[in-house]
Amino acid sequence: MGKKALITGVTGQDGGHLAKLLHEKGYDVYAVIRGQMEASHPRYQEVKEKMPYVNLVMADLLDLSALTRAMQQIQPDEVYNLAAISHVGYSFRDPVLVADVTGKGVLNMLEAIRLAGLEKTARFYQASTSEMFGGLDYNRPDKGYDEDAAFHPRSPYGVAKLYGHWITKNYRESYDMHASCGILFNHEGERRGPEFVTRKISKAVARIKLGKQDKLELGNLDSKRDWGYAGDYVEGMWRMLQQDQPGDYVLATGETHTIREFCEIAFKEVGIDLEWQGSDVDEIGVDKATGKTVLSINPEFFRPAEVDILLGDPTKAETVLGWERQVDFPGLVKLMVEHDLNLEA
Ligand code: NAP
Ligand code: G4F
């Protein structure tokens, strides 16, 4: 019998990559999908069609009884908690729901494992985030944040994730659970939701190239992110749960780039050279060849508090886990634009 893994968040970006990886490694893969989702729902169908090897279990992260039943029925060896309301901008608009799902949802998962009597056997992965650092206390320009850096979350999402991070560590210390936290910096790719900036850009660039859209509207162009490829990051999650001891690990690239740079490279991929004109909310990106405005600023996308810079130091993951990345920054942008050109054509 293969090992059994239970994933939450399978309909999201990372869940799809992780389900595939675990299946390829010989696991029996189970995944929690929200209870209200009808079999006719497109996301349910996508999982059924593209990941037929995944056994679906109905449960919501807010529903402790359903989660406990799932743990009792499946008796998983490994549990990967990827489910969350994960959009930082949205978390300012609905902070209470985000606290419940992204924060208390983690407690529900840990309690479900305990209530099912699996705390000594099931290994647990919590999807922690670089958003917990927040950028304000950034004082290591060469190295970036590591596992010991101070937290200073700047969004309701970051605060909720910090609760999830600490309650996971608390269950590790209190009940001797094999519970690990991956502090992941931004990771992107062809499965990224269109509400996140990289996919919004790659999709718009493809549509502009194909004449299906005139212009892309963005918020802050000058924040910096440490962007990697999601497919590389799920391998790191799995490696954390294969260690003899649980722990916390930063997964990052050690490079940081502005949104502006991402735009420049993405437009270049389709043969458009961007020229920046104007400043602040009046700044625009112009196609040098045609003089057409292809990018402008919409203050609607600014956040009440911003994380100006994220840069991670993955030394621990590289040395202890032997974690490696296959896709670099230009490769990531290329991969996303090419994917969206094919999708939109
Ligand atoms: P994502 O694409 O936004 O996926 C979120 C998943 O959570 C979806 O499957 C969603 O299901 C599920 N979900 C939301 N509310 C739920 C609820 N009440 N009950 C059950 N499931 C629920 O996120 P991602 O990019 O794959 O990220 C995976 C995890 O890593 C998240 O926890 C995220 O916060 C964290 N993280 C991500 C990054 C990154 O750069 N991607 C970096 C650090 C940490 P529906 O389809 O039903 O909505
Ligand atoms: O793509 P974003 O929405 O990602 P953000 O806020 O960094 O959060 C992502 O990464 C976190 C890890 O650090 C995860 F925990 C989290 O779940 C999520 O996956 O925004 C990136 C940057 C921000 O500075 C934002 O202000 O892009 C800026 N931005 C500029 N214009 C925009 C836009 N972001 C979005 N989503 N949409 C815009 O139009």
Residue ID of nearest Cα to ligand 1 atom 44 = 129
- Which two structure tokens, joined as six digits, stand for 208? 């502009």
Nearest of 326, 331, 169 to residue 246 by alpha carbon = 169
> How far, in Å, from the CA of 66 to the mean position of ligand 1?
19
Helices then strands, each counted (H, E), the chain: 12, 15
Q: Is 130 in the pocket of ligand 2 (CB under 6 A)?
A: yes
Find out whether 183 and 127 touch, Cβ atoms under 8 Å.
no
Q: Is 78 exposed, middle or buried (0-12, 13-18, 19+ CB in 10 A)?
A: buried
pLDDT at residue 241, rounded to an integer: 98
pLDDT at residue 142, rounded to an integer: 66
Low-confidence ranges of the chain (pLDDT < 50): none
Q: What's the pLDDT tens digit per position in 271-318? A: 999 999 999 999 999 999 999 999 999 999 999 999 999 999 999 999
Rounded CA separation 135/14 (Å): 24
Report pTM. 0.97
Q: Are strands 4-8 and 28-33 parallel, antiparallel or unpaired?
A: parallel
> How far, in Å, from the CA of 278 to the mean position of ligand 2?
23
pLDDT at residue 140, rounded to an integer: 65
Of 138, 225, 297, best ligand 2 pocket probe by most atoms within 8 Å of the beta carbon: 225
Indicate if 157 belongs to the active site: yes
Q: Residues lining ligand 1, judged by CB closer than 6 Å?
A: 8-15, 34, 43, 60-62, 82-86, 101, 127, 129, 184, 186-187, 193
Q: What's the pLDDT tens digit per position in 7-39? A: 999 999 999 999 999 999 999 999 999 865 566
Location of structure tokens 């019998």: 1
pLDDT at residue 59, rounded to an integer: 93
Indicate if 129 belongs to the active site: yes
Q: What's the pLDDT tens digit per position in 131-144? A: 999 876 656 666 79
Catalytic residue among 27, 125, 157, 233: 157
pLDDT at residue 44, rounded to an integer: 78
Find out whether 328 and 254 touch, Cβ atoms under 8 Å.
no
Catalytic residue among 8, 11, 129, 168: 129
Catalytic residue among 78, 119, 131, 269: 131
CA distances from 81 to 5, 173, 180 (A): 11, 19, 11
Of 82, 88, 184, 256, best ligand 2 pocket probe by most atoms within 8 Å of the beta carbon: 88
- Which two structure tokens, joined as six digits, stand for 133? 């650092």
Indicate if 338 belongs to the active site: no
Residue ID of nearest Cα to ligand 1 atom 47 = 34
pLDDT at residue 139, rounded to an integer: 61
pLDDT at residue 273, rounded to an integer: 98
Find out whether 173 and 298 touch, Cβ atoms under 8 Å.
no
> How far, in Å, from the CA of 82 to the mean position of ligand 1?
6
Q: Which residues contact 127 (CB under 8 A, 6 or more apart)?
A: 9, 14, 80, 81, 82, 84, 164, 182, 184, 237
Q: Which ligand is nearest to the CA of 132?
A: 2
Torsion sign across C-alpha atoms 148, 136, 230, 128: positive
Find out whether 98 and 156 touch, Cβ atoms under 8 Å.
yes
> How far, in Å, from the CA of 143 to the mean position of ligand 2?
22
3-state secondary structure of 219: coil
User: Other C-beta atoms within 10 Å of 296: how many?
Assistant: 16
The gap from C-alpha 7 to its chain's centroid, in whole angstroms, comes to 14
